[in-house]
Structure 1
């Protein structure tokens, strides 16, 4: 048995399918993360060489009213996966998020910076991280941010749709972070899983986000420019666009630790071009 990947239709899982079609992909119908024991049993039955968890509860606002359910999916299930991987002596790669931080300040967060989530989603993801570490096996926690691609629900696709429908948009400009292409995350996960098999000492927590850091409004303007849309983007503060869950104002992350895997931050602007080309928005 080769690589086992939890997730099949999400942005990162879709890119993993393209890069590693030979892997065993388990969707919700085969391994529901709301049943952590079933996830562990799936690993035990498959006996893979490594496990990547590319599945998660990603409905940030919905988590505010359904925190228990979100915590099972994002916290208990990864812990169960990591424990089973530790028992089998195989690497476990788990995707986490910038939402584990409070978003204060303007300095990029280091991997060892104390976590202090602003809401239920961040708390649920932090629990998953804690479970992965506590399992005592070979692992990598890959915190990322602002994921986008040509598929699924994401900011790029929303901006492209609205940019075609409207003459102007107001977009939040006081949240800063690194937009991260899903295909780059997928490549990173595969590289990390392979290297952990060869050198378990590389276990740890890592940050992986696109460069350069930018505001949502500037991200939107780049999408409009590359797609050749005349829709103008005006800056607004977060306070003008309230959401049930608080978003971190500072999502900058220090990604220097990636060098241990010979990885570096991807240029999100190039990835925007690739995504828009795939969507037929540019030729």
Structure 2
């Protein structure tokens, strides 16, 4: 179990580091694009200011935006370098990884295969924590088959792709979210014939059972939480993309209105800040979606196959 647990931890760590690098590189690209846009805007306002068509305030505001973009580039350059160093360390490479192995941005990341509908809960029996708890039961002379029959819910974890099944949701009491599965003890869990041969107390047996129940509850809870994210994250990404598109149109309109002398530069500033913030949120949501798929890999015990 320790080896499998370490393997899951290492794989998850490497993939998450890879995703962090992809996200920070995309944020760097966004900052660089923003700097180009702000530099063009500054040059326009400078020309207008030179002939008295723009105020010194507008020019200073434009300069502030340029400096902010330059700072953001420095920040994300640093973060991307740190991400790359962390990834190199995690994979155990003695030298920097070749550029062709590194992601350019989140768009370049190949998404993992979606979890199929009707995934059996039996995949959770391979989780290191559940295996470890079963070994403790064996040490207390328990019948593992009987323990599984009593405490382990045999259900489908998923309904449609990426969503939790009603059976999984039904394991938790509505409103409270507490564990609602009742043990189904139909045969003895412990071999009474061996109690006298081995020094196993009643308290030790009860502790082993409690730890087994807790491991099972933790497994199903973690899967339910990860599937809850998977079931809504696409909607969040879609809504945020729509917001980014709308704010991009607002920004273009505000620039046109300022150029024609209809509005002052404050409207352009507000539109640009809102757009940049929304684009950053979109990157974070897309990263969160991929990171949650890594989380699903881990909570399913290292895969769903």
**Shorter chain as normaliser: what TM range?**
under 0.3
Structure possessing the higher relative contact order (Cα contacts under 8 Å, 6 or more residues apart): 2
| Higher Rg of the two aligned structures | 2
User: How high is the TM-score relative to the length of structure 2?
Assistant: 0.21
* TM-score, normalising length: structure 1: 0.22
Structure with the higher helix share, 1 or 2: 2
